[in-house]
Structure 1
Amino acid sequence: MSSSNAPSRRRVLGGIAATAATVVGWNVATQTWATAAEAGSARGYVAPVPPLDGTLRTSAADLVQFSKDFGNLVKDIVPWAVLVPGSVNDIVKMVNFARSNNLKIAANGRSGTGDDLESHSNYGQAAVPGGISIDSRGLSKIVSVGSTTAVVEAGVTWAQLTDAAMAKGKTPPAMPDYMHLSIGGTLSVGGIGGTVGKYGLAVDTVESIDVVTGTGQLVTASATVRPDLFNAALVGGGQVGIIVRATVRIAPVKERIVVFSLVYDDMAAYLADSEKVLAEGRFEVQAGEMLRTPDDAGWRFKLELGAVYTGTAPARDPLIAGLRDVRAEAVIDDMPFRDYIFRFDAYVDYLKEADYWDQPKPWLSLFLPASKAKQFLHLAQAELTANDLGGGFLLTYPYRTSKLKRPLGVQPNESVAYLFDLLRFPHPGEPDIQGMLEQNRRLYDKAVALGAKRYLVGAIPGMTPAEWKRHFGNRYADFCNAKRRYDPAGILTPGQGFFA
């Protein structure tokens, strides 16, 4: 993925670094940043950078940090500048500046843990080569935590919100499995986790959002106020505006959770039991995984179910009565609820220590119609090997599509669908990353032929505007209308490639 308008890496990292401290404007004629010394004698008009509460950074060190993303699969995505906003008004100013000077601009979540902060897009979706990247960490304030809602800036992570809410006996009802993601970035793609069967995606818990549109206006949108903007910004991949603040629902938190890990050697039994417990609503949390057999000769399944409680623990046997798992291999844990929702942190530590974290990650995330799940999973089993996972894993479990309310979170045309989330962490030095991308494309094409949809994260090469139109289906016309209304100059988030 690259841009014909993007400068060469040498030009960006060499030419701009020396002038980073004194950039005062954009030279329209040369399409480069101008220093104070150059502005008076520059050839052509220099558009002055507006006064900012934060900073506009153009040093090589700053640009390098924004020249790759979590997927580590795309090249030539170096921005020309990084905005670290000191206020929402900085984003308003710089969107207007970008529009006036024909520059692209996009938000970058820069989330993670410790010093490991990065864009968590997987295939260049948040990249803005030759444009302005907005470091969302500049907007990381938890504005308020009330009895039923919390108001947060876009750079706040789900981990930060959860800890603040738990201090008041609350929690977000729908969260991603990896908690150290920015809320603004998550809402741009949906946000899926083990509570999707009960609460939907993270976007389904949003009451309202504040958005800086591509026309440089700061507006509030909700299901009743500017609903076209609300519906196009949530799961809209940053195409109509930059989410700067969100009001999200929170609910009373339970103190503990009983987690049942049930193993299945038979796919049909796994699928039937998964849909059975979903229909009966036995559990607050339901997830599942396709994993290698102990002898690495094939595949089996694990059903993960969570019953939350405060006080007396629920009786265990009735909760899993009638299920056809390999009961001798069942593992049942009782733990603090917070420990469960942060359960991936220890695994992330392992991936970093074993040098998996920085490898290319050809992920594939799909939504399968339940009636075709068995057929597709058989196809996947025939395609995939242990090496295709590396240090990663493959999630697959059902949920009710009626729980997903936001129009652009398009779903298969059935009441129940399955997540198929191939989260690859290739072995260090894996030589065939391109082969994995091509495999993603084959699996995607087979899934679409069965009525599947894709999640906006992940890496599927060769997606065309026509294929995106097919993906969005009857929502596409409204999406296009919102794009024309709220980003008529087409300056926002080019990496998604929905329209060109």
Structure 2
Amino acid sequence: MEMTLFCARINILILLLALCSPCKFIQSPIDLGPLNFLQNANTASMDFGRIHFNSPSAVLRPKSPEDISLLLRFVSGSSFSKVTVAARGAAHSIYGQAQALDGIVIEMDALPSSIRVHRKGEAEADGVSYADASGGALWVELLEESLKHGLAPRSWTDYLYLSIGGTLSIGGISGQTFKYGPQISNVLQLDVVTGKGEAITCSPTKSSELFYSVLGGLGQFGIITRARILLQEAPEKVKWVRAFYDDFQTFAEDQDLLISTPDLVDYVEGFIVINEQSLKSFSTAFPAHLHFAPKFHSEGSSKVYYCIEYAVHDHSSKDIDTEQVVLEELSRQMRHLPSQVYTVEVSYYDFLNRVRMEELSLRSVGLWEVPHPWLNMFVPKSGINEFVDLLLENIATEEFEGPVLIYPLLRDKWDANTSVVLPDADDDQVIYIVGMLRSANPASCPAACLQSLLQTNRRIAGAASRVGAKQYIPHHSSPAGWSEHFGRQWDRFAARKARFDPLGILAPGQGIFSRRSISISSL
């Protein structure tokens, strides 16, 4: 064991010497013993956004969390001032957040995938059901394993092929967030390796400052190697509803109605239906023929529509169909377009994994692996009308490719101790998430077009700040932009960075902090 650690340390030292030298001593992929380093791995310079391509000098495929700890201890305790480290999960980031230019990328999927489910009532379960999952495991893997026990996490993202550590570093939201909070509000414990290489188990009562820092911390304070996720009884089926509107105010009021009844409704989202393509794209996974044929262009002007999507869990253990009664009662109170409501029943797994069908459809026509200039914003309720007007004024609705999501969240479901930044309007209990999930097909949108779309995003985000909006999955190109983003939380965020990653080694792709060096005399 001691000889293995000694060899690993020597391998890291050789690697760091190579990275910091003006000459590249390692020119091709090699295996440096037990840590399995790869040099110049091109895949680590790419992400889902396909906008930034920052190549690392090396990639680490760890065999255990101890490998990650060993690497970071060497980097933080050496005089090599240029080396940075980024954790890469499913690489679903948009603007190079999981990249490390000339640094080291840690591929988290190399960790042994471990998911252990503990049911309430077991000796070690401590009164609740939960799962211990490795940080590089995917949410779909956790779903599949937990369903074997009749359990499932309470809060999700729309797309399940994301790493657990990755979404917990951002927030993790979907249509369940109004009811159960984001994914980071459903975590019981974490194993984290800090920027100093310290391996720490943390929770709300143990090393709590690190626990809350890492949740929504954009990877700045540590790398999540294990997460303990709260579970609940899983329903067998889901009654899934879509209702259409031609007036935004009515649409928003009906969404408010739904989130005000969390005992009845389990999921609420919504879409802006801006053209025929968007109507088709978000209906791919909905297993019902929609007889909705709106006129998007009439009398020379563009017309947009809105769609509420909500769901009620069906546990199929009751003598009467309570879920159907709930749907009928809600439908009587809602004010959607006459006869424009559609209901289907699907398995719980198929409902949660619905975006996978859209992915496969896009892949089949070569439109998945294209640039994705996405923009996600948290908007306070007091500013949502103005924001939607701003959005529609700044995009060409007839040319927009991709869905536009819009649905409400509740502020009190978010823990203010975490690192996520919400709009400052504390008197607004309701916050909307608006996601412009645009795709840019290179065949119709070359480089200049892509840059124009990114400029539009910056213009919308800048103008939205006037109504108190904040970016979700934020991206800023300057220190001033980050300072403005964090606002009154900046001092706390910077203090946490100084405590857990004082040299600024972690997550350089976010561009929040600069890498700092240590003096030789301090070694």
The TM-score with structure 1 as length reference comes to: 0.86
What is the alpha-carbon distance in structure 2 between the residues aligned to residue 105 and residue 166 of structure 1? 35
What is the alpha-carbon distance in structure 2 between the residues aligned to residue 160 and residue 209 of structure 1? 18
Residue equivalent to 1:486:
500
Deviation at 1:499, TM superposition (A): 3.0
Structure 1 position 105 matched with structure 2 position 85: yes
Deviation at 1:151, TM superposition (A): 0.5
Residues 424-483 of structure 1 deviation map (CA, whole Å, 9 limit, x = unaligned): 1123421311111011011101111101111125xx5x5322222222222221211111
Amino acid at match of 2:235: K
Residues 265-292 of structure 1 deviation map (CA, whole Å, 9 limit, x = unaligned): 0111001111121123231000000012
Residue equivalent to 2:457:
440
Bigger Cα displacement from structure 2, 135-144 vs 437-446: 135-144
1:79 to 56, 80, 86: 56
Give the CA RMSD over aligned residues: 2.2
Residues 284-337 of structure 1 deviation map (CA, whole Å, 9 limit, x = unaligned): 000000012533332110000100011153223113221110131211111111
Residue equivalent to 1:45:
none
User: Residues 55-454 of structure 1 correspond to what in structure 2 (within 5 A)?
Assistant: 55-58=36-39, 60=40, 63-75=41-53, 77-99=54-76, 100=78, 101-102=80-81, 103-109=83-89, 111=90, 119-147=91-119, 148-281=129-262, 282-292=264-274, 294-297=294-297, 298-311=303-316, 312=318, 313=321, 314=323, 315=325, 316-386=327-397, 389-390=400-401, 392-405=402-415, 406-412=417-423, 413=425, 414-429=428-443, 430-431=445-446, 432-454=449-471
Structure 1 contact 140–152 (Cα < 8 Å) conserved? no
What is the alpha-carbon distance in structure 2 between the residues aligned to residue 66 and residue 177 of structure 1? 24
**Distance change >3 Å, CA 235–CA 32, structure 1 → 2:** farther
Amino acid at match of 2:295: D
Deviation at 1:138, TM superposition (A): 1.5
Deviation at 1:388, TM superposition (A): 5.3
Residues 69-119 of structure 1 deviation map (CA, whole Å, 9 limit, x = unaligned): 1100013x100111000111110111123222331001000x2xxxxxxx1
Amino acid at match of 2:403: F
Deviation at 1:387, TM superposition (A): 5.4
Deviation at 1:420, TM superposition (A): 0.3
What is the alpha-carbon distance in structure 2 between the residues aligned to residue 151 and residue 32 of structure 1? 43
Name the SS of the counterpart of 2:407 in structure 1.
strand
**Distance change >3 Å, CA 379–CA 23, structure 1 → 2:** same
Amino acid at match of 1:333: V
User: Residues 5-44 of structure 1 correspond to what in structure 2 (within 5 A)?
Assistant: 24-27=14-17, 30-32=21-23, 34=25
Deviation at 1:33, TM superposition (A): 5.3
What is the alpha-carbon distance in structure 2 between the residues aligned to residue 173 and residue 252 of structure 1? 9
| Identical-pair percentage | 30
Name the SS of the counterpart of 1:332 in structure 2.
strand
What is the alpha-carbon distance in structure 2 between the residues aligned to residue 31 and residue 134 of structure 1? 23
What is the alpha-carbon distance in structure 1 between the residues aligned to residue 138 and residue 346 of structure 2? 23
Amino acid at match of 1:67: S
What is the alpha-carbon distance in structure 2 between the residues aligned to residue 247 and residue 404 of structure 1? 18
Residue equivalent to 2:478:
464
Name the SS of the counterpart of 2:391 in structure 1.
helix
Structure 1 contact 52–86 (Cα < 8 Å) conserved? no
Bigger Cα displacement from structure 2, 142-151 vs 392-401: 142-151
Name the SS of the counterpart of 1:320 in structure 2.
helix
Name the SS of the counterpart of 2:16 in structure 1.
strand
Name the SS of the counterpart of 1:328 in structure 2.
coil
The TM-score with structure 2 as length reference comes to: 0.83
Structure 2 contact 271–308 (Cα < 8 Å) conserved? yes
Amino acid at match of 2:313: V
Amino acid at match of 1:184: G
What is the alpha-carbon distance in structure 1 between the residues aligned to residue 142 and residue 400 of structure 2? 31
Structure 1 contact 54–87 (Cα < 8 Å) conserved? no
Structure 1 contact 173–251 (Cα < 8 Å) conserved? yes
Any unmatched runs of 5+ in structure 2?
Answer: 1-10, 120-128, 276-293, 298-302, 515-523
Structure 1 contact 142–153 (Cα < 8 Å) conserved? yes
Amino acid at match of 1:487: D
What is the alpha-carbon distance in structure 2 between the residues aligned to residue 245 and residue 235 of structure 1? 15
Structure 1 contact 356–428 (Cα < 8 Å) conserved? no
What is the alpha-carbon distance in structure 2 between the residues aligned to residue 51 and residue 144 of structure 1? 31
Deviation at 1:214, TM superposition (A): 0.8
Name the SS of the counterpart of 2:269 in structure 1.
strand
Structure 1 contact 258–306 (Cα < 8 Å) conserved? yes
What is the alpha-carbon distance in structure 2 between the residues aligned to residue 467 and residue 65 of structure 1? 29
Residues 152-208 of structure 1 deviation map (CA, whole Å, 9 limit, x = unaligned): 111100000001000000001011100000001111111111101111111111111
Name the SS of the counterpart of 1:380 in structure 2.
helix
What is the alpha-carbon distance in structure 2 between the residues aligned to residue 34 and residue 387 of structure 1? 53
Residues 35-67 of structure 1 deviation map (CA, whole Å, 9 limit, x = unaligned): 69xxxxxxxxxxxx9986441111x5xx11111
Residues 197-226 of structure 1 deviation map (CA, whole Å, 9 limit, x = unaligned): 111111111111111111111011211222
Bigger Cα displacement from structure 2, 293-302 vs 196-205: 293-302
Tell me which protein shows more strand as a share of its residues.
1
Structure 2 contact 214–418 (Cα < 8 Å) conserved? no
Any unmatched runs of 5+ in structure 1?
Answer: 1-20, 37-48, 112-118
Amino acid at match of 2:341: A
